[in-house]
Amino acid sequence: MNFSAPESLPETLPPPDLPAVRAWLDPIVVRFEQASFIQDDPVSVPHAFDDPRDQELIGLLAALLAWGRRDIMLAKLNDLCERMDFRPAQFIRDLRPTSRALDGFVHRTFNPDDAMGLCLSLQSALREHRTLENLFRTGMDVLDDGSGPKDLTPALSAFSHALFDGVPGRPKRMRKHLARPETGSACKRLVMFLRWMVRSGPVDLGIWSTLSPADLWLPLDVHSGRQAREAGLLARKQNDWRSVQELTAICRQLRPEDPAAYDFAFFGVGSSGESLSWSRVSAT
């Protein structure tokens, strides 16, 4: 299925056509940003909890493990919740290095050593900062002149480094699960986690007040990147941090107060096997 767009719009869109692009994409956002989206998405895991302390912790773990086949991933996340006795905040707070609760937990390249190391790092972060939101806040620029969205790049990098460094001696392989912008990574899972925590709506939880939806970036992966390019909104070929910045800059022109909303259009269409291609639309 292709989505109808004004045939007069070229494939590479200049700024004067942005209102028409907004009119085209906004209904697609509405189509996918529904409560029904939650069931088969990893955001369903934090939605299963009521306490914000549980939601942000299991939300981060769910985001970091959000890859591979969805049915397998969701089964693994349910297994993780069971191992935590469905009390993730208490589990992490009380966890001892000698615990066997995470023995045998594997999801693709994420192994029991990674799980234990990350949970102990989260424990260390909570002891110092009380919440993950407070930890993220420490990496943000103190001054905000209100002239535009905050540059969260340093905060995102500091957040990952704090978790990696939280428990000295943990395996260096944990770095592969904690992306940092300075490596060029799109940091898709962490950017998606921020979307869950900050935005409010039928899908996202909106439990963090430190940030505004206007500050968020677009989570970028194979699906969303392909659709953004087919829609003529992303010129860069790589799904890297520069592409995240490029696509987010365009989406901020479309919806300054909430650019990450367009993740539902790009990812929703891509994951459902449909297309936002202008050329395909023109051909129909």
DSSP lists the bridge partners of residue 240 as 185
Q: Low-confidence residues of the chain, pLDDT below 70?
A: 1-16, 141-148, 167-174, 278-284
Sign of CA dihedral 40, 42, 45, 50: negative
Q: How far apart are CA 260 and CA 219, in angstroms?
A: 8
**Burial degree of 8 (CB within 10 A; 0-12, 13-18, 19+):** exposed
Q: Nearest Cα to 64, choosing from 2, 117, 8, 1?
A: 117
- pLDDT of res. 4: 45
Which DSSP category does 8 fall into? T
Compute how many other C-beta atoms are within 10 angstroms of the C-beta atom of residue 148. 11
Continuous segment of H or E residues that includes residue 53: helix 52-64
Percent of the chain with pLDDT over 90: 68
- pLDDT of res. 273: 83
pLDDT in tens, 63-111: 999 988 899 999 999 999 999 999 999 999 999 999 999 999 999 889 9
Helices (H) and strands (E) in the chain, counts: 13, 0
Q: Calculate the alpha carbon distances from 112 to 88, 117, 123, 126, 148 in Å.
A: 16, 8, 16, 21, 42
- pLDDT of res. 176: 75
- pLDDT of res. 90: 98
DSSP lists the bridge partners of residue 110 as 107
- pLDDT of res. 140: 84
- pLDDT of res. 278: 53
Joined tokens for residue 76: 């693994």
